[in-house]
Structure 1
Amino acid sequence: SSLVSFSLFQRVPRPARPDLRPIYQGSNPISDVWSLEALRIIGKYFRRSVFDSSDEEAKENMMLASTFAGVGFGNAGVHLCHALSYPISSQGQSYFDADYPAKKPLIPHGLSVVTTAVADFEYLTPACPERHAAAARQLGATISDNAGNDYIASKLCDQIRGFMRDFQVPNGLEEMGFQYSDIGKASKVKMHF
């Protein structure tokens, strides 16, 4: 999500002194390199690493992708799906993830992030379609340079949905035990982050 975060160069007016600047400056030429490479590696190795635990090449590359993504968003910040992940994780009181001990309810961070990613990127694509197209291409989508916003959003979201479907990720908050009445409380929690 750092690749599509607010660009460093779009900040107007720019603070006069560095100590007045926000901690995260937004996407920038350095963070973009790391983010794009992380996405490329994910597009190539993610499924292999999940479906074949003996595939050392895939696992090594996914560790690199994780590191590269961390360097990218460590300098740029993250976007909406990360912000929304905190109330999802903290308010999920009945979901037990199959990959974690069943001692207490837990929505893992990655799951809480990807839960809203499709809706977030559908909404955000018109703000910077070229960056969303770049992300989709790195994940394996074919998108022409003159593609419209809806097409770009659909291709990026298809890539994400494909991972979610293949990895049998719960399809939305309801499948993680949320009810409509929980949304208000989760929204209030979000406002405190």
Structure 2
Amino acid sequence: MPKRIDAEARTAAIAEASLRVLERDGLSGLSVRGVAAEAGIAAASLRRAFATQHALREFCLELIEDRVKARIAALELTGRPLVEGLLLQLLPLDKERRLELVAQVQLGVLSLTDTALRPAAIRLSDGVARVCHIAVEVLTETGQFHQGRDPEYEAQRLRALLDGLAMQGLWSGELSEAGPILEMLTRHLDELARP
């Protein structure tokens, strides 16, 4: 059992190091040598955990998905606060979420030409769409979504807004600049309740 725990801990350390390398150095830095140095392990140990660069890249996307799911599962909210909590998990409003989004964007762009990576990138993107649909469902169930609006269209529009806010948050570069992003999201959710 200890060997399994050590292997899991090593894999987690490698994945975390990979996200940091992606944020700091971009895709060109995501090499065996670069990630091993960041994780403080030998390159051979990294190769045992991830035999190929593709496996490492795919695991990074899976790690992001798992981390977001864990944060969402930990939310103990209902109604509008739940909707806001769900959506805020997908925006770069702290170091962890910024790190995830930078890695997701870089690996997502790579997946446009790397067909082997594409399924993992699409799965992560589909998860964002699901969160937007859930947000609209919660607003509907709590009477905070106008009946005259098309739920499917509004979920797609919410996704577009979320993607735009996420990119705006990345480009601003400052975590302290969250105010305008939060205000835009709040105003949009308020608008969904009106005809």
TM-score (norm 1): 0.26
Task: Tell me which structure has the larger Cα radius of gyration.
Answer: 2
Which protein is richer in helix relative to its size? Answer: 2
TM-score (norm 2): 0.26
